[in-house]
Amino acid sequence: MIIVNRDKAEQIVRERLRIEREPELAALDIAHLKTLEEGGDPSEVVENKKFLRAITEIELRDFSLVELESLTLERLVVLRPQV
């Protein structure tokens, strides 16, 4: 019988999400700077950056172990209104 450590599984998922979000945050940093240079309103970019930073703090207990295994940043972004 295989026993899965739920806390360890969640920790692994959070680390994977951190790695997945790095290029997204870098792209948003560039978009933020361009928006500021052009005199635009960066509030949408700022909100997206805040969301990506907070994504590793969401409650993962609502996901089954099978869902955790396949959970991606893209999936969480789709679930954003519910997160």
Amino acid at 50: K
Residue 77 reports pLDDT greater than 70? yes
In a domain, 47, yes or no: yes
What gap in Å lies between CA 6 and CA 32, rounded to an integer? 37
**Model confidence band, residue 82 (pLDDT cutoffs 50, 70, 90):** low
pLDDT digits (tens, 9 = 90+) for 30-62: 999 999 999 999 999 999 999 999 999 999 998
Residue 80 reports pLDDT greater than 80? no
In a domain, 5, yes or no: no
Give just the sign of the alpha carbon dihedral 51, 57, 63, 64. Answer: positive
In a domain, 7, yes or no: no
- Count of domains for the chain: 1
**Model confidence band, residue 2 (pLDDT cutoffs 50, 70, 90):** confident
In a domain, 43, yes or no: yes
pTM of the model: 0.83
Q: Domain containing 29: what range?
A: 13-82
Q: Which of 47, 46, 63, 58 is nearest to 17 (CA)?
A: 58
